[in-house]
Amino acid sequence: MSSVAGERPPWLKARFPTGPEFRRLEKLMRDEGLHTVCEEAHCPNIGDCWSRGTATFMILGDTCTRSCGFCAVKTGRPGFLDRDEPRRVALAIQQMGRRHAVITSVNRDELELGGADIFAATISWTRRLSPDTTIEVLIPDFKGNRDALALVMETHPEILNHNTETVPRLYHRVRPQAVYERSLEVLRRAKEMDPGTVTKSGVMVGLGETREELLDVFADMRRHDVQALTIGQYLRPSAQHLPIERYWRPEEFAELKARAVEMGFAHVESGPLVRSSYHAEEQASHVRRI
């Protein structure tokens, strides 16, 4: 049985953000004028990840042109486009000494290429400064712009992630400016453009979806050759965001994982606190063997 929404259940307890490594990363981000999705999206895992010296960089500024009902990143008119940001992100990755780097972004729908050129530059700078570091990018849909996606894929990231986030029935409420079929097409085209790149996607639960709807989404992903999947519990960032319909129990996440593996996903992370980039380095070490 699933837990109805109310007091947060005990399996959703997260580590408090503190410690010397946390403070070191915090200072690094401030010194370089960088943003992380860990902070901007109020990720519950920031204490765990930052204490281990990992963080997910968020490029293209801190203001998103979309207004998804689940996301804590602020919405509005973005400021100027920081052309030096790719170099500073790569420098931070070098200073962190990570074997695997995760880079995501806000949506920048006002730009012709949606910021794909900044993604490409960030990957190129990271390759230059940290040639042994593998790269995972979590990209927006670029409004379906094939040229924008091609710019990113020409840099050959090891992992290309684009989240479908929820089931089609809930898109109008959860992702009002996105299109479910377009997200699937982004994943298909990415694999087509670079067959060597591992494609990955993720969903949240707890927004009113059914188990059957989730399984249909998993099947759609596999038909579009998605190889890795993350499944996590939606947690409401504030009273202004969508309410939690219910909490899924750990055994339900285990069952979803089992079904996804049966469908042919090469790697599945499924659990209440799982997020797209949670333990991404460990995920990457597995999927690189696909």
Q: Is residue 165 part of a domain?
A: yes
Q: Is residue 1 part of a domain?
A: no
Q: Is residue 3 part of a domain?
A: no
Q: Is residue 208 part of a domain?
A: yes
Q: How far, in Å, CA of 37 to CA of 60, rounded?
A: 12
pLDDT tens digit at each of 290 positions of the chain: 455 566 788 888 765 556 666 666 667 767 667 777 656 555 565 555 555 556 788 899 989 999 998 888 888 999 889 999 999 999 999 988 878 999 999 999 999 999 999 999 999 999 999 999 999 999 999 999 999 999 999 999 999 999 999 999 999 999 999 999 999 999 999 999 999 999 999 999 999 999 999 999 999 999 999 999 999 999 988 888 999 999 999 999 999 999 999 999 999 999 999 988 766 665 665 555 45
Owning domain of residue 240: 11-287
Q: Is residue 164 part of a domain?
A: yes
Q: Is residue 190 part of a domain?
A: yes
- When divided into structural domains, the chain yields a total of 1
**3-class SS at 101?**
strand
Do residues 167 and 205 make contact, with C-beta atoms less than 8 angstroms apart?
no
**3-class SS at 15?**
coil
Q: How far, in Å, CA of 83 to CA of 226, rounded?
A: 32
pTM (2 d.p.): 0.89
- The CATH number that applies at residue 283 is 3.20.20.70
- Angle made by CA atoms 198, 250, 261, in degrees to the nearest 5: 35
Q: Is residue 216 part of a domain?
A: yes
